[in-house]
């Protein structure tokens, strides 16, 4: 495989090559690591993470945000992380019909990815795929994650800005979510704000955030939207851009890269661990009545 030629085609904007190469990375095609090591480091493309509980309207919000960015003549890539099929680990929802108007737009690229069993709501190769898409010269990458609740905090280690989407009905759930999903937000969106209790949710969010204001150089914004009616989307886009401008602060960018490196190193170290073989080893030890979890872990050679 001529990875140099492949990368050249991607940087020249060949979308078919980009789509095919994402599949090669997804499926760990032989030598794909060589391509990744050829990728140029770039800060030009900004990554926006959109997350939140199921039913919050994340996809509708993403669709509306694409429209705002395209009107500003920006190139946008969207990586939609969908639940995995239990049979083949493929994306269950496929390329999403609700964003169908953008599939043939020259400035928009949309790709569905499966979680493949990842507990954090992301694809196990999401960092690599994001960096590959960056090489194609997009202005923004929007990563919309499957809503899995509090464990969906991996997005904070991937995105330059994380948008947490909630709906008015979530007002009573804030305290239970506080330790997880709620703490990763750079900006909160109260979507479907035409529903009752929207203002109450905004008030409760402000109460929850008040003690944390002193730890942020800038207060976390809470924006009311109605994505179906395209209301509040321009305000959200402006808030995201304001936050992206703060990325010039070296500490935040360095920590973001540290999180990515940490994740990839963990992934690499775990690569040769076979869960089925581990299960057989545990079963054998239990049968011999010699099983101790901590001895097993301490003596495990990765």
CATH number, domain at 220? Answer: 3.40.50.300
Q: What is the pLDDT of residue 147?
A: 61
Q: What is the pLDDT of residue 258?
A: 81
Asked if 22 and 58 sit in the same domain, the reply is no
Which is more confident, 82 or 143?
Answer: 143
Asked if 160 and 292 sit in the same domain, the reply is no
Mean pLDDT for the stretch of residues 127-131: 89
Q: What is the pLDDT of residue 179?
A: 53
Which is more confident, 217 or 253?
Answer: 253
User: Between the ranges 75-84, 94-103, 178-187, 245-254, where is the mean pLDDT highest?
Assistant: 75-84
pTM of the model: 0.81
Asked if 189 and 296 sit in the same domain, the reply is no
Which is more confident, 43 or 153?
Answer: 43
Asked if 17 and 121 sit in the same domain, the reply is no
- Tell me the pLDDT band of 246, cut-offs 50, 70 and 90: confident
Q: What is the pLDDT of residue 255?
A: 74
* pLDDT tops 70 at residue 170: no
Asked if 296 and 152 sit in the same domain, the reply is no
- Tell me the pLDDT band of 122, cut-offs 50, 70 and 90: low
Mean pLDDT for the stretch of residues 103-118: 79
Q: What is the pLDDT of residue 270?
A: 82
* pLDDT tops 90 at residue 141: yes
Q: What is the pLDDT of residue 32?
A: 92
Q: Find where tokens 């929207």 sit.
A: 198
* pLDDT tops 50 at residue 154: yes
- CA–CA separation, 171 vs 147, rounded Å? 17
Range of the domain at 291: 274-302
Asked if 195 and 89 sit in the same domain, the reply is yes
* pLDDT tops 70 at residue 249: no
Asked if 139 and 213 sit in the same domain, the reply is yes
Asked if 180 and 134 sit in the same domain, the reply is yes
Domains in the chain, number:
3
Q: What is the pLDDT of residue 7?
A: 95
Asked if 150 and 20 sit in the same domain, the reply is no
- Tell me the pLDDT band of 89, cut-offs 50, 70 and 90: very low
Asked if 237 and 296 sit in the same domain, the reply is no
Asked if 239 and 294 sit in the same domain, the reply is no
Mean pLDDT for the stretch of residues 266-293: 86
* pLDDT tops 50 at residue 150: no
Q: What is the pLDDT of residue 187?
A: 93
Asked if 163 and 18 sit in the same domain, the reply is no
Q: What is the pLDDT of residue 238?
A: 95
């Amino acid at each position: 495989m001529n990875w140099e030629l492949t990368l050249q085609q991607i940087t020249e904007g060949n979308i078919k090559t980009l789509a095919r190469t994402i599949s090669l990375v997804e499926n760990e095609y032989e030598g794909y690591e060589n391509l990744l090591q050829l990728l140029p480091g770039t800060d030009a493309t900004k990554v926006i993470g959109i997350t939140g509980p199921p039913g919050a309207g994340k996809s509708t919000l993403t669709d509306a945000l694409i429209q705002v960015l395209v009107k500003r003549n920006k190139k946008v890539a969207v990586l939609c992380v969908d639940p995995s099929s239990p049979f083949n680990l493929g994306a269950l929802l496929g390329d999403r019909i609700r964003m169908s108007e953008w599939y043939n737009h020259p400035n928009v690229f949309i790709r569905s990815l499966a979680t493949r069993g990842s507990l954090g709501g992301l694809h196990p190769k999401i960092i690599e795929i994001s960096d590959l898409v960056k090489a194609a010269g997009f202005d923004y990458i929007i990563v919309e994650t499957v809503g899995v609740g509090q464990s969906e905090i991996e997005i904070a280690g991937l995105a330059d800005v994380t948008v947490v989407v909630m709906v008015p009905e979530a007002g009573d759930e804030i305290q239970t979510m506080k330790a997880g999903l709620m703490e990763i937000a750079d900006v909160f969106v109260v979507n479907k704000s035409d529903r009752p209790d929207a203002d109450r949710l905004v008030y409760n969010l402000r109460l929850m955030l008040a003690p944390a204001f002193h730890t942020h150089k800038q207060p976390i914004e809470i924006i009311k939207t109605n994505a179906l009616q395209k209301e509040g989307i321009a305000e959200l886009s402006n808030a995201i851009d304001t936050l992206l401008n703060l990325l010039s602060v070296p500490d935040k960018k360095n920590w973001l890269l540290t999180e990515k490196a940490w994740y990839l190193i963990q992934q690499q170290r775990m690569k040769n661990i076979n869960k089925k073989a581990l299960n057989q080893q545990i079963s054998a030890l239990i049968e011999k009545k010699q099983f101790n979890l901590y001895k097993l872990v301490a003596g495990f050679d990765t």
